Homo-oligomer: A and B are copies of this chain.
Amino acid sequence: MSDLVARARGGEPRAVARLVSYVENAPVGGGERLREVMAALAPHGGHAHIVGLTGAPGVGKSTTTSALVRELRSAGRTVAVLAVDPSSPFSGGALLGDRIRMTDHATDPGVFIRSMASRGHLGGLAWSAPQALRVLDAAGFDVVLVETVGVGQSEVEIAGLADTTVVLVAPGMGDGIQAAKAGILEIGDLYVVNKADRDGATKVQRDLRGMLRLADRPAESWAPPVLAAVAQSGKGMAEVVAALDEHRDWLRSSGTLEARRTRRARAEVEAIAVETLRARWTTVGEMDDLDALAAEVVKGERDPYAAADTLLAEKSVPDAE
């Protein structure tokens, strides 16, 4: 295992992929192997700039990811891409599409691309994505791009994973109310109007700036820029990369980077603790303590709070001490 971790840290793509697979396939509660991996990686993190990329379907997320990778590579930086598939079982097609488009970079050893399903369980993204990011960070990539495939809550959720969140919009994607409903006005550190060669791009840019001034955003000294780009041709991507660097510098100098990472680690530790307990409460197969307690609740012999107290008293601490 320590050999595998060493090879991953040396940038060997197969070793990195193997470690991400450990995260993806880990049993509820993590399991011994993943625990070992995480313990071995812990001292080697914190270098990568983690950039989240989000936006409604059709704004050109994959194209922008690809263009960003190209721009970062031309500046000599190494990049990992994590495409997270939200819980919908219907997005397999889009994911495949991503894979094909990203073959542009398939032969470049400075680029690592990986998609990961969140397996449809509640909190799937919250559970597995941060740990996959730890692997990519410890592997030494300069920038890690996290992209969600699909829609919905994940758009907001991804903001919780990244140092810097880039929100993509495009002309003709609906009015400002849609943006407000999607919750994107609160989460972006950087807005990019993609497909800026189309009609209405300037208006979208202007509207977005206006709405951002009115939005209920955290009181920070950072005012999110609204850039224009054409990811398809690479136009404007140098400016996007420059804005990313500027945001990273601001994160560091303002202390926001540490605050965000602490908040993230907090959520991660809490999620692991809860899942560890859930695994302890549940014995696969035969009837377990939780079933016995539930049966008493159904019969009215115990109320659910008393049952929860019993569960916590009996099962929160491992048997061996």
A35-B269 in contact given A46-B300, A298-B46, A298-B261 (Cβ < 8 Å): no
Q: Tell me the bound Cα distance from A270 to B312 in angstroms.
A: 10
Given known pairs A45-B300, A270-B281, A272-B308, the reply for A294 and B263 (CB within 8 Å) is yes
Consensus secondary structure, chain A interface: helix
Q: A131 to B307, alpha carbons, bound, how many Å?
A: 14
Contact A305 B38 (CB under 8 A): yes
Complex Cα gap A276–B310 (Å):
12
Do A273 and B308 touch across chains, with their CB atoms under 8 A apart?
Answer: yes
Question: Which of B46, B262, B295, B302 is close to A42, meaning CB atoms less than 8 Å apart?
Answer: B302
Chain B: which residue is nearest A281 at the CB level? B270
- Complex CA gap A122/B90 in Å reads 23
Does chain B have a CB within 8 A of A268? yes
| A303 close to chain B: CB less than 8 A | yes
Q: CB of A213 within 8 A of chain B?
A: no
The 10 closest A-B pairs by CB, nearest first: A316-B316, A266-B294, A42-B303, A265-B294, A272-B308, A265-B297, A273-B308, A38-B303, A269-B307, A43-B300
Extra inter-chain contacts (5) besides given A46-B300, A262-B298, A274-B277, CB under 8 Å:
A35-B303, A263-B294, A269-B294, A270-B278, A270-B311
- Measured CB to CB, the residues of A under 8 A from B are 30, 34-35, 38-39, 41-46, 90, 122-123, 130-131, 134, 152, 181, 258, 261-266, 268-270, 272-274, 276-278, 281, 290-291, 293-295, 297-309, 311-313, 316-317
